[in-house]
Structure 1
């Protein structure tokens, strides 16, 4: 329970902070693709008997580099490259899971990789996970202003002297760290809920990026901790068959997103980009 709260809370914090820029940049599909590709790393970790965080992180980082290094100039081309990389990652995940089942007779590996098993996380994962999360947050803190400007208006960022391509690569690497943590906790398929859900909720209730980061972080951590508590309590609802944490995470985020829709506020992209551009 303690391990789930620490690792899950850390994953939610990093995912929420990184996810704000993901939503602003319109790259939710890229985040989902990296999460799916990271499943190949998680499957490989079961096959090779290594730390699962290492598998998720290495594969997500490789996919992020591949997506950024391919030169694309239009959103349509970017989505095509993202789709190709995601397909390749899922293919490797299927291969590794098949080899793991046939060679090691491992049961439950596919469910753990795809849908998560937060209560099964080893306490030895805590320090590496916190280190990865701290590194991701440090990168976001250093690149906050140029990354915000690039996310809102890439052309204005280029005029202001921001190295757009290098900033984009640093962002994707940070995104790879975030999805590797969330994939390890709530599963590769559902990790997008932590990455996109809390930021989308935050950007519905506030137009200020800094405030959106705070709201998204609090929402992500609160939803994750409440989901862990509900999953723990569910063992008493259906004795011996607790409900998965990922189910509660997705359900709570959906309910909060619908509720936030009544506020109806959206970020003012043009005005925000001019204000950020003047301060960079």
Structure 2
């Protein structure tokens, strides 16, 4: 039988619709805020927030609450700690980020241990660290969409001062921009983005959605507005196609579908390599 692009049941499966809605919203938010994260050189902070959020995801399995609430709560707490304990010097900021990261991973290890020993949730570690998009309950959709819209709304409000702070922090201060407040709001939006992406592709791999599409977009355009649109398109395309390929993979190896996160991350990497090659060809 000839292979088909859309396997039977793809459009009628509730788990697929849930994955598309939550995964798509996570990809768009992560890509848009990721442009500013890359411009500010805060990729390490984004990676740290994603890893620390795993402690919240692990705790959600232990407490029996919505996983997004766990990822979100821990990511926001970590963002606040990184902002208030750090300072403007990059070295000190990275040091504090590393300390917060270590503490978060320690809590994650403890909660995962309790998940296995007390609740017997043996799949918690895989779901938290690498994602389990087809297992996300449909009841999480309203909260996920609300978080995504809230993150985009905050970003729209601080767009101009945040952009100026990224380009020239000293000039931003001279023009009356509260750089510390803008930095805190940036970290807040960043924490919302990584919480969404951590719940979809996993805490370990969520940085790919945060950094990959923006990095590819900035290779194609130096204009922030256009770069955000391109990054959102790349992230959304990689997520949708990744979900499609993961669903189809159940027919490649019957009963054993491939991880969604694997396809999404590989597609994001491919997009970056193509964008980099395209830029080099134009420069030649």
Query: Aligned partners of 1:257, 1:112: CA distance in 2, in Å?
Result: 26
The alpha carbon displacement at 1:116 in A equals 0.1
The alpha carbon displacement at 1:261 in A equals 0.8
Query: Aligned partners of 2:88, 2:194: CA distance in 1, in Å?
Result: 25
1:112 paired with 2:127, answer yes
Deviations 1:113-150 (A, max 9, x none): 00000000000000000000000000010110001111
Give the root-mean-square deviation of aligned CA atoms: 0.8
Query: Aligned partners of 2:86, 2:208: CA distance in 1, in Å?
Result: 28
**Superposition pairs for residues 1-280 of structure 1, below 5 Å?**
1-264=16-279
The alpha carbon displacement at 1:264 in A equals 2.7
Query: Aligned partners of 1:230, 1:67: CA distance in 2, in Å?
Result: 37
- TM-score normalized with structure 1 length: 0.93
The alpha carbon displacement at 1:71 in A equals 3.8
Query: Aligned partners of 1:233, 1:97: CA distance in 2, in Å?
Result: 31
Q: Find the residue that maps to 2:203 and give its secondary structure.
A: coil
Q: Find the residue that maps to 1:261 and give its secondary structure.
A: helix
Query: Aligned partners of 1:99, 1:207: CA distance in 2, in Å?
Result: 47
Q: What is the aligned length?
A: 265
The alpha carbon displacement at 1:263 in A equals 3.0
Q: Find the residue that maps to 1:262 and give its secondary structure.
A: helix
- TM-score normalized with structure 2 length: 0.92
